[in-house]
A and B are shown apart, each in its own frame.
Chain A
Amino acid sequence: DIQMTQSPSSLSASVGDRVTITCQASQDISNYLNWYQQKPGKAPKLLIYHASNLETGVPSRFSGSGSGTDFTFTISSLQPEDIATYYCQQYDNLPLTFGGGTKVEIK
């Protein structure tokens, strides 16, 4: 299985801050990576697909980049409603696997 390692596991930032989360794959996955947001008690929500494509209706402050084994997810200006846990997910190989998650909190 491809292991997806996210860092940090949690972070605290102020409203308006730029927030960056990284996801590292245990092997080359090209750009077969998605990013999700999950709020407490809710289902995950797709934000970014194919590493850098913004899902329809998702605010432009969210972005993704990277290829190969190293990927980055960025919130350009953190908003209170962005408090959530964020997960990366690879789809280069089966089984599909998720990162361990990054919990984002407001400082």
Chain B
Amino acid sequence: QVQLQESGPGLVKPSETLSLTCTVSGGSISSSYWTWVRQPAGKGLEWIGRIYTSGSTNYNPSLKSRVTMSVDTSKNQFSLKLSSVTAADTAVYYCARARDITSDAFDIWGQGTMVTVSS
């Protein structure tokens, strides 16, 4: 079955760029579209954006100026870059799959990776 695994640095300095990759295993990345969600400690879920395997993206306007998502179908991976990070970007970052192209329901999630922004 399809599994997702986030990877990337757990510590990022303020003003630098957070970079995460999500690797899709057990299935094709072309089967759906993919999203990033984050969750600060003890708080709720925030949608960051989504990417289709065509490369088309939609970002949360609250982060749009700092977010870039990309996809590498040859590696079955998609990525997130968040620039000019501050302590407010400290969170667990999840990648997830939409269950089908007609619903933004996320049926498969990575385990999440904790990213701390600190000098």
* Residue of A94, A95, A101 most packed against chain B (CB within 10 A): A95
A82 within 8 A of B: no
Q: Are B104 and A87 in contact (CB under 8 A)?
A: no
Residue of A nearest to B48 (CB): A95
Q: Are B105 and A87 in contact (CB under 8 A)?
A: no
- Check A99/B44 contact, CB under 8 A, given A44-B106, A91-B104, A94-B58: yes
- Residues 26-75 of A at the B interface (beta carbon under 8 Å): 32, 34, 36, 42-46, 49-50, 55
* Number of interface residues, chain A, beta carbon within 8 A: 23
Q: Are B44 and A91 in contact (CB under 8 A)?
A: no
Q: Are B99 and A87 in contact (CB under 8 A)?
A: no
- State in angstroms the CA–CA spacing of A43 and B7 once bound together: 15
Chain B 24-59: CB-based contact to A (< 8 A → 1; otherwise 0): 000000000001010000001111000000000011
Q: Are B105 and A50 in contact (CB under 8 A)?
A: yes
- State in angstroms the CA–CA spacing of A50 and B102 once bound together: 10
- State in angstroms the CA–CA spacing of A64 and B18 once bound together: 37
Q: Are A95 and B107 in contact (CB under 8 A)?
A: no
Interface residues of chain B: helix, strand, loop or mixed (majority): strand
Residue of B nearest to A85 (CB): B44
From B45, B59, B96, B111, A87 is in contact (CB under 8 Å) with B45
Between A and B, 15 residue pairs with Cβ closer than 8 Å are: A1-B61, A32-B103, A34-B104, A34-B105, A34-B106, A43-B110, A44-B45, A44-B94, A44-B106, A49-B105, A94-B58, A95-B62, A97-B47, A99-B44, A101-B44
11 A-B pairs besides A55-B105, A96-B60 with CB distance below 8 A are A32-B103, A36-B45, A36-B106, A43-B94, A43-B109, A45-B109, A49-B105, A89-B45, A89-B104, A95-B62, A101-B45
Which chain A residues have a beta carbon within 8 Å of chain B's beta carbons?
1, 32, 34, 36, 42-46, 49-50, 55, 87, 89, 91, 94-101
